[in-house]
Every structure is written in C-alpha cells, then in structure tokens.
Amino acid sequence: MRREVSLEEISDGKLYRSNDLVKADCRGCEGCHACCTGMGQSILLDPMDAARLTAGLAVDFDTLLGGKLELNVVDGIVLPNVRMEGEGERCVFLDRDGRCSIHPYRPGLCRLFPLGRYYEEDGFSYFLQIHECPKKDRTKVKVKKWIDTPQTAQYENYICRWHFFLKALEEIAGNSQDEELVRNISLYVLKTFYRTPYHQMEDFYSQFERRLHGAEKLFGLA
C-alpha cells in the first residue's frame, strides 16, 4: 500500500540499508501490542507470507481466506490482508496475553515494523517510522537482524521484484476501461501467487521466480 506523505513527516529523516543500525529494537515489546490492533486493512500479505503462513499453520490458503484473512482492493488490485476483529480491532492472530500466536511465521510487514520501506526507481531503503511505535526506549539493532528473514539480499531482491510487478499491473488496471480485464488480473494474481500452494521441499524464491516469469510474459512485462 503506497502512502503519499513526506518522509520528513513520518520518519527520523534517514534512510537505512540492511547492514545499518537503527533504533527499532523494542526488546520483545514487553506487553505492548499497539501495532497488532487498529491496523485496518494495512497488514498486506506478499507471496512469501502466503508460503510461510500455510506451512506454519498447515492449512491451505483458501482456508485462511475463509477466516483469518480477507481480500481488499489496494491501488486497483485485490490483495489479501490479515483481518482485525472486535471492538478493539485486534489482529485475529493476537492471543489472550497480547502476544502474536504466529510469531515464527508472522507476515513480513509485522517483521518490519516500526520500519517501513521507501521505494525509489530501482530498489528500496528502510526508514524508521517515528509516530507509530509508543516504546520510547528502543535500542539499536541491525536492520537485517530486525527483519528476521534469512538470505537478506535474496529477500530484498524478491521484495523489489514483487513491488515493481504489482506496480506495473496497477498501471495496466488503472489505464483500462475493461472491467473484466481488471477483475481477471486480480483473480490471476490471487491464484498464481497465493492460492496455488508452494512446495516446502523446494526453495521459495525459485518457485516465485517461475510464477513471476510466467506472469510477466502473460502481461507483456518481460
């Protein structure tokens, strides 16, 4: 989900790379779960999240769509997000003690918080959101340690590939008057990148690249 705000308003004004130290470490969050409530539809899932969640919970993606996740239109394309529920708008994965019940396979955006991604023409940097996390005594941590995902370079490359692919599709959908085409783009994305299971015995990135290559050819983006 892209936000049209200036970086100066929401960050400490710095951009970070994966090897940089950033004041993001909330040291286990200690009873806080502010970023797991009231998040609306903003905890969007990418294909790796789908692979992690389905493997971690041992369910297929359609089962998750029937309960824990929901679909919403984001910049013209239908994408899945984690559902918030109840009066307190609590994430459906938050347990009674206010802890994440899926911590080992939580979505990439949850791993990132309170960092965000700032995309430029050919890649992205990280930035620290200064108004979102109430913990005042955060300590410094390396970005790549904070996001807690192995093979950082490969992961970042994947994040970029996915971002720019979605951006290209959003442009196609945005420029089209053909409602059926727009609907079919969303159905294709959901089926190809989320609903079709990822094999746990095969590297995620190879599977993603194969799917992306097919999609780029189909939409004339290769």
Residue choice 45, 51, 94, 173 for contact with ligand SF4 (CB under 6 A): 94
Q: Is 51 in the site for ligand SF4 (CB under 6 A)?
A: no
Q: Which stretch binds ligand SF4 (CB under 6 A): 24-32, 144-152, 163-171, 172-180?
A: 24-32
Q: How many helices (H) and strands (E) does the chain have?
A: 8, 8
CA 169 to chain centre: 17
Q: Taking CA 11 as the corner, what is the angle to CA 36 and CA 135, rounded to the nearest 5 degrees? A: 45
Dump the DSSP string for 5-44.
--HHHHB-S--B-TTSEEEEE-TT-TT--GGGBS-TT--B
By C-beta, is 135 or 161 nearer to ligand SF4? 135
Q: Which stretch binds ligand SF4 (CB under 6 A): 58-66, 128-136, 155-163, 166-174?
A: 128-136
Residue choice 113, 126, 194, 198 for contact with ligand SF4 (CB under 6 A): 113
Q: Is 91 in the site for ligand SF4 (CB under 6 A)?
A: yes
By C-beta, is 103 or 191 nearer to ligand SF4? 103
13 conformational bin, left if phi > 0, alpha if psi -120 to 50, beta if neither: left
CB of 31 to ligand SF4, least distance (A): 9
Q: Is 45 in the site for ligand SF4 (CB under 6 A)?
A: no
Q: Is 116 in the site for ligand SF4 (CB under 6 A)?
A: no
Question: Is-contact 18 144, C-beta < 8 A?
Answer: yes
| End-to-end CA gap in the chain | 24
Q: Which stretch binds ligand SF4 (CB under 6 A): 57-65, 100-108, 153-161, 191-199?
A: 100-108
Q: Is 50 in the site for ligand SF4 (CB under 6 A)?
A: no
CB of 39 to ligand SF4, least distance (A): 6
- Contacts within 8 Å (CB) and 24+ apart, 202-209: 204/48, 204/51, 205/151, 205/154, 205/158, 207/51, 208/47, 208/48, 208/158, 208/161, 208/162, 209/161
Residues touching ligand SF4, count (CB under 6 A) = 22
Q: Is 82 in the site for ligand SF4 (CB under 6 A)?
A: yes
DSSP state of 85: E
CB of 98 to ligand SF4, least distance (A): 8
Q: Which residues lie near ligand SF4 (CB under 6 A)? A: 26, 29, 32-36, 43, 82, 91, 93-94, 100, 102, 106-107, 110, 113-114, 133-135
